[in-house]
Amino acid sequence: MYGTQLYEQDFYLWLTHNADLLREGLLDQVDIINLVDEIEAMARNEKRAVNSNLVMLLLQLLKWKFQVMKRSGGWEIQINLQRCHLHDYLSDSPSLRPHLDEVFARCYSDARKLAASDTGFGINVFPALAPFTLEEVLTADYLPEEPDLDYLRSVFNTSSQSESAEDK
């Protein structure tokens, strides 16, 4: 039982068997088709993990910025933990750094929606464009300042006015 049959019946055994074949140089016996699929899946998983950590870091930074009265050491720990995870990924795979540039806006958009849901604030409280750069997000010890009061007044006044208009 080798090749595709082993892959379908016992994944772990398939992995170790193909690793042994590669180590021994028996390339003609390696299950190349499934091996290539698994390697590509690993690459996708690395990108997903980086995306997920970036979204969670952005979420924590938004909460830090906009929920000033709820700031805690626990939040700061979460920010630093997500940052550490990202730095570990980038240390192990520096080629993922350009990927962060590509997905930053999308990850921010996801974090913004999560922040609105988590805080109970309307989505418009959080700027449509990230209030911090990727470089700031990745910088150790960076914590965003609280939002400008004029900005908050304008957002909450706009929200109140649109809610009043909806009530009519």
Q: DSSP string of 27-88?
A: GGGS-HHHHHHHHHHHHHHHHHHHHHHHHHHHHHHHHHHH-GGG--HHHHHHHHHHHHHHHH
| Cα distances (angstroms) measured from residue 98 to each of 28, 57, 84, 101, 145 | 36, 18, 18, 5, 27
Q: Is residue 91 very low, low, confident or very high in pLDDT (cuts 50, 70, 90)?
A: very high
Task: Identify the domain containing residue 89 by its residue range.
Answer: 47-167
Residue 29: inside a domain, yes or no? no
Number of domains in the chain: 1
Q: Out of 43-47, 120-124, 164-168, which region has the weakest mean confidence (pLDDT)? A: 164-168
Within-domain flag for 54: yes
Residue 13 lies in a domain: no
Four-residue CA torsion sign, 89, 90, 95, 97: positive
pLDDT band at 154 (very low <50, low <70, confident <90, very high): confident
**Is residue 28 domain-resident?**
no
Q: Answer yes or no: is 14 within a domain.
A: no
Q: Does 166 score more than 70 pLDDT?
A: no
CB 63 within 8 A of CB 70: yes
How far the first Cα of the chain sits from its last, in Å, is 72
Assigned domain for 20 exists: no
128 within some domain: yes
Residue 136 confidence (pLDDT) above 60: yes
pLDDT digits (tens, 9 = 90+) for 11-27: 999 999 999 999 999 99
Q: What is the pTM of this model?
A: 0.81
- Asked whether residue 7 is domain-assigned, the answer is no
